[in-house]
Each structure stands twice: as C-alpha cells, then as structure tokens.
Amino acid sequence: MYDSGIHYNNGRPGQDEQFIDRVSHFQDQLKNGNASIKIQNTKMADSGNYSCFFPHLQRQTSYIELVVEPILKNRSGEIPGASPEPYIKINNAANGVLLQCEVRGAFLKPKVEWQDSAGNILPAEEPPVLKGGGRYYVTLKTTVTKTGHYRCVATQEDISHQIYSEIYVVFNEPVWL
C-alpha cells in the first residue's frame, strides 16, 4: 500500500507480517506510472494472485499471478541434513544388468529414483527405507537392458536439494562370423 508518500515501510500500519522487510517499491519510478514491487527472499508460500489498485485512475486494477518454484541443486555443503551423493553398485542379472543405488545417512527423507540419459524415470521396486540415529538409508534397484548413461537421483524438495551419481552401462553386441 502506497498513498502520497506513506507506505508500509514508512509508517503505514496493516502490512501482513510475512512480508515485513521483504517488500519494497521503486519510489523514483512512481511518477512514471511504475507501481511495481519487489519481493525479496521469496518463498513457495508467496505464490498466488496479486493485484494493484489505482483508486485515482478510474479505479483501475491490474492483476498478476506469482509462481515460486524451488530450484533443485546440490546443497550438500550449505544445508545440514542434505543427502550425500548416492553410491551405485552394478551386478549382472538374468535379463540385463541390475543397478543398485544407495543413499546413506540423509537427515531428511529423500525421494530416490533412477533415470535414463533422457531424464525418463525408470521402473524400480519400492525402496526399503531404514531409519537409524535420525538418518535415512534408502536402497533402490532397477534392471536395465540397453547400453547408456543411467543416473540415480536423490531429491529433498523441502530444502530444494538434489544430488545424483551416474554410471555408463555397456552391453556387448553379438559378433556374427
């Protein structure tokens, strides 16, 4: 709310507590008709519909939808409890190669999945999740039958953390004489 120089950060009461010290406007741009605001340190809870109402301009109202999505990235060194890099084991199986991914000791429960080089999620059995000492241990297995790059991805959306390990599997082609 801005009215003739008085705004929420300058003596005007009523600002929602979740926005205190996070919202500002471009005061030098108001004379040009720019009533934009800037929200700092956005959170997913900030997502929603916002409106801008100009009571002195024929009751003109503008609307905008704000969508805040997490940026998933490796946060191992910056957030305690972030999942460590997955450990991959490879074994021969009757119908291909068995890939086993182990995520050891995450403080927050990770979602673990296998992906092919195109990012498609591979079918896998429901992983056993063990919890000990306040940490999670997850083992996920899948069987592959084609040469390619495969990635085990551990994601903790609550802290926007994602980390992966990758392996290249080669199947020998038969040689015809």
For the residues 20-26, what does the mean pLDDT come to?
A: 77
Tell me the C-alpha distance between 161 and 76, whole Å.
8
Tell me the C-alpha distance between 49 and 67, whole Å.
9
Whether 2-66 and 87-169 share one fold: the answer is yes
Q: What is the CATH number assigned to the segment(s) 2-66?
A: 2.60.40.10
Q: Where are the domains of the chain?
A: 2-66, 87-169
CA-closest candidate to residue 84, choices 148, 11, 157, 164: 164
Q: pTM above the 0.75 mark? A: no
Burial of 132 (0-12, 13-18, 19+ CB in 10 A): exposed
Please report the pLDDT score of residue 70 as a whole number.
Answer: 78
Which positions ≥6 away from 77 have C-beta within 8 Å?
A: none
- Segment 106-162, tens digit of pLDDT: 989 999 999 999 999 999 988 888 888 889 999 999 999 999 999 999 999 888 999
Domain 87-169 class in CATH: mainly beta
Please report the pLDDT score of residue 10 as a whole number.
Answer: 52
- Segment 38-69, tens digit of pLDDT: 888 888 788 888 887 766 666 677 788 888 88
